[in-house]
Structure 1
Amino acid sequence: MTASTQAPPTGCPYRLDPTGSDVQGEASALRERGPATRVLLPGDIPAWSVTDPGLIRRLLTHPDISKDASRHWPAYTSGRLPADWPLRIWVDVRNALSAYGEEHRRLRRPLAAAFSSRRVRALVPQIEKLVHTLLDELQSSGPDEVVDLRARFAWRLPLLVAGAILGVGEDLHDDFRDAVGALFATDLAPEEAGAAQARVYELIGRLIEQKKAKPGDDVTSGLIATQQTGDISDTELRDSLVLLIGAGHETTVNALDHGTVNLLTHRDQLARVLDGEVAWDHLTEEVLRHQAPIATIIMRFAVTDVADEATGVTFARGDALVINYAAAGRDPDAHGPDADKFDTSRTTARDHLAFGHGAHFCLGAELARIEIRIALNALFTRFPDLQLAVPCEDLAPLPSFISNGHVSLPVLLGRPTASPTHSTPAAA
Structure 2
Amino acid sequence: MDFDGVEPGGALSGAYDSRVRLDPAEHDPRSDPDSLCAAGPVVPVLLPGGVTAWLVTGHQAGRAVLADSRFVKDIGAWRAWRSGEVPRSWPLAPLLTVANMTTATAGDHTRLRAPLARAFTARRVAQLQPRVEELTGELLDGLAAGRAADPVELRARFAHPLPVRVICELFGVPDDRRPRLQSLCGALFATPSGPADALAVHRELRAALAGLLRAKRDRPGDDLTSALVAPGHDLSGSELVDTLLLMIVAGHETTVNLLVNAVHALLTHPDQLALARSGQVPWSAVVEETLRWDPPVANFPFRYALCDVDVAGRTIRAGDPVMLSYTAFGRDPQQHGPRADRFDITRPPTRHLTFGHGIHHCLGAPLARLEAAVALPALFGRFPGLALHGPGQPPPRRPSLVFNGLRELPVVLAPRGDARQPPRPRDGS
Q: Cα offset for 1:285?
A: 0.3
Q: Secondary structure at the match of 1:408?
A: coil
Q: How does 1:296-311 map to 2 (within 5 A)?
A: 296-308=299-311, 311=312
The whole-number CA distance in structure 2 between the counterparts of 1:123 and 1:255 is 19
Q: Say whether residues 1:50 and 2:51 are aligned partners.
A: no
CA 1:170–1:423 in 2, change beyond 3 Å: closer, same or farther? farther
1:202 aligned partner: 207
The whole-number CA distance in structure 2 between the counterparts of 1:160 and 1:423 is 22
The whole-number CA distance in structure 1 between the counterparts of 2:282 and 2:234 is 43
Q: Secondary structure at the match of 1:37?
A: strand
| Residue-by-residue CA offset, 1:134-175 (whole Å, 9 max, x unaligned) | 111111111012111101111111111101111111112222
Q: Say whether residues 1:358 and 2:358 are aligned partners.
A: yes
2:320 aligned partner: 319
Q: Cα offset for 1:68?
A: 1.6
Q: Secondary structure at the match of 1:363?
A: coil
Which amino acid is 1:281 matched to?
S
Q: Secondary structure at the match of 1:249?
A: helix
1:41 aligned partner: 47
Q: Cα offset for 1:424?
A: 2.5
Q: Say whether residues 1:184 and 2:189 are aligned partners.
A: yes
Which amino acid is 2:402 matched to?
I
CA 1:416–1:38 in 2, change beyond 3 Å: closer, same or farther? farther
- Paired residues of 2:356 and 2:362 also in contact (CA < 8 A): yes
| Residue-by-residue CA offset, 1:106-140 (whole Å, 9 max, x unaligned) | 10111101101121011010111011111111111
- Paired residues of 2:153 and 2:408 also in contact (CA < 8 A): yes
Q: Secondary structure at the match of 2:267?
A: helix
Q: Secondary structure at the match of 1:97?
A: helix
Q: Cα offset for 1:94?
A: 0.5
- Paired residues of 2:21 and 2:27 also in contact (CA < 8 A): no
CA 1:242–1:20 in 2, change beyond 3 Å: closer, same or farther? farther
The whole-number CA distance in structure 1 between the counterparts of 2:176 and 2:108 is 34
Which amino acid is 1:314 matched to?
T
Range that drifts further, 335-344 or 189-198 = 189-198
Q: Cα offset for 1:22?
A: 7.5
- Paired residues of 2:37 and 2:331 also in contact (CA < 8 A): no
- Paired residues of 1:381 and 1:417 also in contact (CA < 8 A): no
Q: Secondary structure at the match of 1:171?
A: helix
1:396 aligned partner: 396
2:423 aligned to 414, 419, 423, which one? 419
CA 1:20–1:269 in 2, change beyond 3 Å: closer, same or farther? farther
Which amino acid is 2:294 matched to?
Q
2:380 aligned partner: 380
Which amino acid is 1:84 matched to?
S
2:9 aligned partner: none
Q: How does 1:149-228 map to 2 (within 5 A)?
A: 149-225=154-230
| Residue-by-residue CA offset, 1:362-412 (whole Å, 9 max, x unaligned) | 000011001011100100000110111122543111011211111111111
- Paired residues of 1:74 and 1:318 also in contact (CA < 8 A): yes
Q: Cα offset for 1:291?
A: 0.2
Q: How does 1:4-153 map to 2 (within 5 A)?
A: 11-19=17-25, 21=27, 26-70=32-76, 72-153=77-158
Which amino acid is 1:419 matched to?
P
The whole-number CA distance in structure 1 between the counterparts of 2:341 and 2:16 is 22
1:333 aligned partner: 334
- Paired residues of 1:18 and 1:187 also in contact (CA < 8 A): no
1:281 aligned to 280, 284, 290, which one? 284
Range that drifts further, 320-329 or 181-190 = 181-190
Which amino acid is 1:56 matched to?
G
The whole-number CA distance in structure 2 between the counterparts of 1:357 and 1:121 is 22
The whole-number CA distance in structure 1 between the counterparts of 2:420 and 2:250 is 33
Q: Secondary structure at the match of 1:38?
A: strand
CA RMSD of aligned residues (A): 2.1
Structure 2 stretches of 5 or more lacking a match? 1-11
Q: Displaced runs of 4+ in structure 1, greater than 6 A?
A: none
1:235 aligned partner: 238
The whole-number CA distance in structure 2 between the counterparts of 1:86 and 1:374 is 36
Of all paired residues, the percent bearing the same amino acid is 42
Q: Cα offset for 1:246?
A: 1.1
Which amino acid is 1:284 matched to?
V
Which amino acid is 1:134 matched to?
L
Q: Secondary structure at the match of 1:43?
A: helix
- Paired residues of 2:115 and 2:233 also in contact (CA < 8 A): no
Q: Cα offset for 1:213?
A: 2.2
The whole-number CA distance in structure 1 between the counterparts of 2:211 and 2:420 is 40
CA 1:80–1:62 in 2, change beyond 3 Å: closer, same or farther? same
Structure 1 stretches of 5 or more lacking a match? 1-5
Q: Say how many residue pairs are matched.
A: 413
TM-score for both structures, normalised by structure 1: 0.91
1:292 aligned partner: 295
Q: Cα offset for 1:416?
A: 6.1
The whole-number CA distance in structure 1 between the counterparts of 2:29 and 2:364 is 24
Q: Cα offset for 1:279?
A: 0.3
- Paired residues of 1:185 and 1:403 also in contact (CA < 8 A): no
Q: Cα offset for 1:230?
A: 6.2
Q: Cα offset for 1:343?
A: 0.7
Range that drifts further, 280-289 or 386-395 = 386-395
CA 1:356–1:186 in 2, change beyond 3 Å: closer, same or farther? farther
Q: Cα offset for 1:83?
A: 2.0
1:3 aligned partner: none
The whole-number CA distance in structure 1 between the counterparts of 2:333 and 2:30 is 13
Q: Secondary structure at the match of 1:394?
A: coil
